Amino acid sequence: MRLAIGISILAAQIVMIGAARFGPMRYFCWAPYDSQNEYRIAVEIEGRSLSPEEIEKRYRIPAQSVNPRAIQEITDVVAHVEGVYRPGDKAEVQVRYRTNGGEERLWQWPLVSAP
């Protein structure tokens, strides 16, 4: 009986590690970071662009930097702040980023759904 419980726990851990490693929130995973993300955040509220200092104060992350984890970590922070703490501000946010020196991509808030 103890052996079956032990094997079940070990199997569950292996499944969770696999799921975390390949999911979008893999920055919680124990595996080494395998991407470098250069990013810059631009925020506009009521037609006024926030300064880098204001952006850093708002999200508690630099407005422009390199993040050694998944870019999802940065976009999750922005989405959480805008969706939970500051929904009334109606901020328009753009996160431009390059993963491992690749082509520049854009993430926007409010989320823009694909056509």
Per-residue model confidence as pLDDT tens digits over 29-45: 655 667 899 999 999 99
Same-domain check for residues 19 and 44? no
Cα Rg of the chain, angstroms: 18
Same-domain check for residues 17 and 72? no
pLDDT surpasses 90 at 7: yes
Where is pLDDT greater, at 113 or 108?
A: 108
Range of the structural domain that residue 72 is part of? 32-115
Same-domain check for residues 3 and 49? no
Residue type at 92 in one-letter notation: E
Same-domain check for residues 23 and 40? no
Average pLDDT value for the chain: 88
Mean pLDDT for 89-114 is 91
4-29 per-residue burial string, b: 16 or more CB within 10 A, e: under 16: eeeeeeeeeeeeeeeeeeeeeebbeb
Same-domain check for residues 22 and 42? no
- As for how many domains the chain has, the answer is 2
Contact status, residue 97 vs residue 37, Cβ threshold 8 Å = yes
| Burial (0-12, 13-18, 19+ Cβ within 10 Å), 72 | middle
Summarize pLDDT for 63-97 with one digit per residue, the tens: 999 998 889 899 999 999 999 999 999 999 999 99
| Burial (0-12, 13-18, 19+ Cβ within 10 Å), 101 | exposed
